[in-house]
Structure 1
Amino acid sequence: MTSIFVEPEVALGDLRTARIHLAETVTRVERTLATLPAPGARTPEQREQASAGHDEARTLRVRFLESYAEQVYDELTGGRSHHLRLAELVEAAAYAFAGLVPTPAQLAEEWSRPQADKEGREIDQGIFLRAILRSAPAGRHLMDAMLRPTPRALQLLDEFRRTGVLETEAVRMERRDGVARLTMSRSECLNAEDEQQVDDMETAVDLALLDPEVRVGLVRGGVMTHPRYQGRRVFSAGINLKRISAGEITLTGFLLRRELGYLHKLVRGLHDDRPGRWRPPVEKPWVAAVDTFAIGGGAQLLLVFDHVLAASDAHLSLPAAQEGIVPGAANFRLGRVAGARLARQVILGGRRILATDPEAGLLVDEVVAPQELDDAVERAVARISGDAVVANRRMLNVAEEPLDEFRAYMAEFALEQALRIHAGDVIDKVGRFAGRTG
Structure 2
Amino acid sequence: MTVHTELTGTTFVVTIDRPDARNAIDLATAEAVAAALDELDARADVTTGVITGAGGTFCAGMDLKAFLAGERPSLPGRGFAGIVRRPPAKPLVAAVEGYALGGGFEIVLACDLVVAARDAVFGLPEVTRGLLPAGGGLLRLPRKVPANLAMEWILTGARIPATTAHEVHLVNRLTDPGAALAGAVELAEAVGRNGPLATRACKQVIAESRDWPEAEFFERQSPVHEAVRSSEDAREGALAFVERRSPQWANR
Instruction: Indicate conservation of the 8 Å contact 1:205/1:265, yes or no.
Output: no
**Which residue matches 1:373?**
180
Instruction: Indicate conservation of the 8 Å contact 1:311/1:367, yes or no.
Output: yes
Q: Secondary structure at the match of 2:30?
A: helix
Q: Secondary structure at the match of 1:357?
A: helix
Q: CA deviation at 1:389?
A: 1.7
Distance change >3 Å, CA 204–CA 390, structure 1 → 2: same
Flag as ranges the 4+ runs of structure 1 deviating above 4 A: 253-257
Instruction: Indicate conservation of the 8 Å contact 1:183/1:219, yes or no.
Output: yes
* Structure 1 residue 298 corresponds to structure 2 residue 104: yes
Give the structure with the larger helix fraction.
1
Name the amino acid aligned to 1:362. Answer: H
Mapped partners of 1:221, 1:258: distance in 2: 19
Instruction: Indicate conservation of the 8 Å contact 2:115/2:172, yes or no.
Output: yes
Name the amino acid aligned to 1:284. Answer: K
TM-score by length of 1: 0.45
Mapped partners of 2:17, 2:132: distance in 1: 25
Q: CA deviation at 1:259?
A: 4.7
**Which residue matches 1:178?**
10
* Structure 1 residue 396 corresponds to structure 2 residue 206: yes
Distance change >3 Å, CA 359–CA 342, structure 1 → 2: farther
1:68-87 → structure 2 map (5 Å cutoff): none
Distance change >3 Å, CA 324–CA 235, structure 1 → 2: same
Please list every run of 5 or more consecutive structure 1 residues that lacks an aligned counterpart in the other structure.
Answer: 1-168, 224-232, 270-282, 403-438
Instruction: Indicate conservation of the 8 Å contact 2:34/2:78, yes or no.
Output: no
Mapped partners of 2:180, 2:115: distance in 1: 8
Q: CA deviation at 1:332?
A: 1.0
TM-score by length of 2: 0.75
**Which residue matches 1:339?**
146
Mapped partners of 1:390, 1:242: distance in 2: 37
| Segment of structure 1 superposing worse, 172-181 or 255-264 | 255-264
* Structure 1 residue 221 corresponds to structure 2 residue 20: no
Q: Secondary structure at the match of 2:79?
A: helix
* Structure 1 residue 264 corresponds to structure 2 residue 85: yes
Please list every run of 5 or more consecutive structure 2 residues that lacks an aligned counterpart in the other structure.
Answer: 213-252
Distance change >3 Å, CA 288–CA 401, structure 1 → 2: farther
Give the structure with the larger strand fraction.
2
1:319 to 119, 125, 135: 125
2:114 to 296, 308, 313: 308
Instruction: Indicate conservation of the 8 Å contact 2:11/2:185, yes or no.
Output: no
1:357 to 156, 161, 164: 164
1:246 to 62, 66, 69: 69
Q: CA deviation at 1:194?
A: 1.3
Distance change >3 Å, CA 401–CA 196, structure 1 → 2: farther
